[in-house]
Amino acid sequence: MYTRSLCGFAVTFALALSAMVASAQSPNLGKPISPAEIAPWDINILPDGTGLPPGSGTPAEGARVYSAKCSVCHGQDGKGGTSTRLVGGEPIKNMESEKTIASFWPYATTLFDYIRRAMPWRQPRSLTNEEVYALTAYILSLNKLIGESETINALTLPKVRMPNRDGFIVRFPDRTP
């Protein structure tokens, strides 16, 4: 009896040991990823504009891209169509209020990030940075948040103040730009 249980202990111990060794080794799947391979996926734009690429655009340039690639869903002049409107919106009063770019989004830089990563709906990531800057300028200008002839680039975009900028409870005030 004593020998059997000791033997059982030895087997259990050996199994546990081999499991530890196995988890310490790599399964030899995949390959190391290089910074150049990560770069196309590393496209976050932070609220303060960190990550914005070189380039610029104006509302007039954006209007042309918009007619060709966006109005089919978002309607003429961003007024809405089969998809949500990109212009206007009453200030938010309660949970049921409509949330639009002008009434809800706290940072203008998010517009660049969103359009570049997600639009047009069926061809995400197909726009050039110049086109995204121009579309951002166009939508901001339609919402009267910038002038019609202002240029939007990595320096000017973070300075655009959105109407609902202070409408959020900031959990980590020290980290707010």
> Of 18 and 126, which CB lies nearer to ligand HEC in the complex structure?
126
Is residue 51 a contact point for ligand HEC (CB under 6 A)?
A: no
Among 9, 13, 121, 168, binds ligand HEC (CB under 6 A): 121
Stretch touching ligand HEC by CB under 6 A, among 3-11, 12-20, 53-61, 114-122: 114-122
Min CB(74)–ligand HEC separation in Å = 5
> Of 18 and 76, which CB lies nearer to ligand HEC in the complex structure?
76
Among 47, 56, 114, 150, binds ligand HEC (CB under 6 A): 114
* CA dist., res. 8 & res. 2, Å (int): 10
Residues 6+ positions from 102 with CB-CB distance below 8 Å: 87, 88, 89, 143, 145, 162, 163, 164
- Written as one letter, the residue type at 57 is G
* CA dist., res. 16 & res. 71, Å (int): 62
* CA dist., res. 151 & res. 133, Å (int): 9
Is residue 102 a contact point for ligand HEC (CB under 6 A)?
A: no
Q: Contacts with ligand HEC in 143-172 (CB under 6 A)?
A: none
* CA dist., res. 67 & res. 60, Å (int): 11
Among 46, 73, 92, 145, binds ligand HEC (CB under 6 A): 73
Is residue 106 a contact point for ligand HEC (CB under 6 A)?
A: no
